[in-house]
Copies of this chain bind each other. A is one copy, B any other.
Amino acid sequence: MAVALDVFDRKLLAEVQRDAHTPQNELGARVNLSTAAVNRRLRRMADDGVIDRYTAVVSPEKVGCPLTIVTTVEVESEQIDLLDTMKRTFELCPQIQQCYYVAGEWDFVLILTVRNMEQYNDLTRQLFFANNNVKRFKTLVSMSRVKVGLNVPVELDE
């Protein structure tokens, strides 16, 4: 599953996670590699799935979704097909940025981005109250997005 990555690859990953718009010649200067080599490595990592995709990170506040909410969900039954339809529902809900199926006190952890409390309230009805398989859920309202990203740590030494 994991892919062999040398120091150059890891440095490049750190750079493009920080800023994917850095031109390849600039990246080359930073990691000590020609533009062409940078190009090849980035392409290879994209082909290998090491780089999953490139994306624009949008500010939720600026587009009118200032409210971030973390919701934990406990299900009634962990029957496979019930879980699967539940996962699908969560995946399809645009306000759900992230959904983790977890072991522990809860079954799902959701990260939501919503316009306001009313919208969240509506969503709880659709997603939880209307779903027989939701035993209970807990809402944690974010007061501050202290750190937000999907950056994966990479070792830069050696």
Contacts and interface: CB of A to CB of B under 8 A. Distances in A.
Given A101-B143, A104-B141, A142-B100, A63 B50 contact: yes
Interface residues of A, number: 71
Nearest to A20: B54
Contacts of A20: 20, 53-56
A58 B13 contact: yes
A147 B106 contact: no
B143 A103 contact: yes
15 contacts: A16-B55, A20-B56, A51-B56, A52-B57, A54-B54, A54-B57, A55-B57, A55-B150, A58-B150, A65-B153, A99-B148, A100-B142, A100-B146, A149-B150, A150-B150
